Structure 1
Amino acid sequence: MLAIALTALWMGGRVLDAFLALVVLVTFAEYCALIFKITQKPLNRLLAVIFGVGYIGYAGYALIAADSYYLIAALGAVIFTDVFAYFFGRGIGGPKIAPRISPSKTWAGLVGGIIGAALWLGAWVSTFHYTSGYTSWADFWEATSEDSLGAAAIGIILAVAAQSGDFFESWLKRKAGVKDSSNLIPGHGGVFDRVDGVIPVAFIVGLLSGVA
């Protein structure tokens, strides 16, 4: 799935937009399936579906509308959060954040995810400035030092958001009594399982980038 996503990102344009739209639609369908397993009350279902339209729909729209700079920033933040959280969690272990919701998530993993996202955004902003035509290291450092620190701070927020998205979907699955959001991806669950952390990050990046 990562290979498909990277191919769509490389091709860009309508191919990328179509891929993102498909992911949004499948994710929303899986979300609704979970909601319908959780509650039988029509009003609760309606309110949950409306929430899903705003939560998943705006996140998807933000990714489609954002330029490549923000798109790569968002996806990179989620990837680095997941990778660093995994290795910190496995390597350090320690107390769980919410064992009843997501037994594998530790505070050490959260700290690792924060470090990963902060490093990624700081590096991404620096790289962007470096390729923007600065003629000297002094000019480059002056332009990037403040922005990179700010980006690293935003990385902290995005890392927490990514982990929160993971917890939210895990909570939904617990309430629905299922292991995965679907069996669409053999051995890996559903699409919602793969993008649960991307959704809140895309939501925040959309707001920060002015997507309306």
Structure 2
Amino acid sequence: MVDAERPRKRDRIKTYVTVPLSVRTSDLPRRAGSAVVMLAISGTALWLGGIVWTLFVAAVAIGVYFEWSVLVLLFREKGTRRNLWRVFGAIYCAIGAAVLIALRDSQAGIFSVLMLLGAVIGTDVFAYFSGRTFGGPKIAPRISPSKTWAGLIGGAFGASLVMWLLIVTMGEGNRVYIDWTVGGVLALLAAGSATAIVAQAGDFFESWMKRRAGVKDSGRLLPGHGGLFDRVDGLLSVSIAIGAVFMISRVIGAS
């Protein structure tokens, strides 16, 4: 017998609760502490350069590939498909590492690596705060429920801001200057936006892999951040994109 006083499912009113910003950012102290340690280690390796930077990048790439392999083992694919995923992961990590090593050895050296790292970090930080502050529509809730359009816009602004700060402080010594015309400002914003989009794409790709594997994080090495892959997913995708642009430009220039 149906209770007439009980509201039907379609007539029930959904209640939405606004989560305070302090709760949404409760993991910030732990994330910040881990970030400081990571920046200190990577910054020292970058400053020393040479074999130290090469070994550091190689160690991170190997760690990321290990986490990649663990995720693949949790996929449903077996046999050849699983091996193809492993091969693709090795190529993916190797290209990203090679680009980072090549940038440090280039004429711009530290400046070029800082531009890349700074833009990706600016994307992550500003996307984190703007996404949690403003919320709003999700980009791809089935893949990564926490990523919003507000976060992506904030990330694009953050990448552009960090790139501008680096050019202002270090650009003159590396023959890089800000063109304050409308075209120059738009070019800077376009570079920041492209970095944010590619970095977020790398983040989504890793999130998609984790969903297929049925895990929340790629590892537990970094408190508040998860694993190495969780931390450098955006950096890897941007590095690979830079490598692709460089190769295409070389081919076009040679033709």
Q: Which runs of 5+ in 2 are unaligned?
A: 1-37, 104-108, 251-255
2:155 is equivalent to residue 113 of structure 1: yes
Within 5 Å, which residues of 2 pair with 1:60-75?
Answer: 60-66=97-103, 67-75=109-117
SS of the residue corresponding to residue 74 of structure 2 reads helix
Normalising to structure 1: TM-score of the pair? 0.86
Alignment deviations for residues 171-191 of structure 1 (CA, whole Å, 9 cap, x no partner): 111110111112233453211
Is 1:184 the counterpart of 2:221 in the alignment? yes
The 1-side partners of 2:124 and 2:178 are apart by 29
Residue 115 of structure 2 is aligned to residue 78 of structure 1: no
In structure 2, how many angstroms separate the alpha carbons of the residues matched to 1:56 and 1:125?
Answer: 28
Alpha-carbon contact 1:182-1:189 (below 8 Å) kept: yes
User: How do 1:89-128 residues align onto structure 2 when only pairs under 5 Å count?
Assistant: 89-128=131-170
Change (3 A) 1:37 1:113: same
- Whether 1:207 and 2:244 are equivalent positions in the alignment is yes
Q: Any idea what the Cα deviations from partners look like across 1:146-189, whole Å, max 9, x if unmatched?
A: 66643432221111011111111111111101111122334532
Q: Kindly state the Cα deviation for residue 30 of structure 1 after the two structures are TM-superposed.
A: 0.7
CA RMSD after TM alignment = 2.5
Extract structure 1 runs of 4+ deviating beyond 6 A.
none
Match of 1:193, SS?
helix
Q: Percent identical across equivalent pairs?
A: 48
Contact 2:164 2:188 survives alignment (8 Å): yes
CA distance, structure 1, for counterparts of residue 81 and residue 53 of structure 2: 34
Contact (CA 8 Å) 2:178, 2:184: kept in 1 or not?
A: no
Higher relative contact order (CA 8 A, sep 6+): 1
Q: Aligned pair in 2 of structure 1 residues 121, 152: CA closer, same or farther (>3 Å)?
A: farther
Aligned to 2:76: 39
Does structure 2 retain, via aligned residues, the 8 Å contact 1:173–1:181?
yes
Which of structures 1 and 2 has the bigger CA Rg?
Answer: 2
Deviations 1:58-91 (A, max 9, x none): 0111001113232111111111001111121122
Match of 2:203 in 1: 166
Structure 1, unmatched stretches of 5+, are: 135-139
The count of aligned residue pairs is 206
CA distance in 2, matches of 1:74, 1:92: 27
- Paired AA for residue 56 in structure 1: C
Contact 1:30/1:192 (8 A) holds in 2: yes
Give the AA of the match of 2:87. I
- Structure number with higher helix proportion: 1
SS at match of 2:144: coil
CA distance in 1, matches of 2:81, 2:175: 54
Closer, same or farther: CA 122–206 of 1 in aligned 2, 3 Å: farther
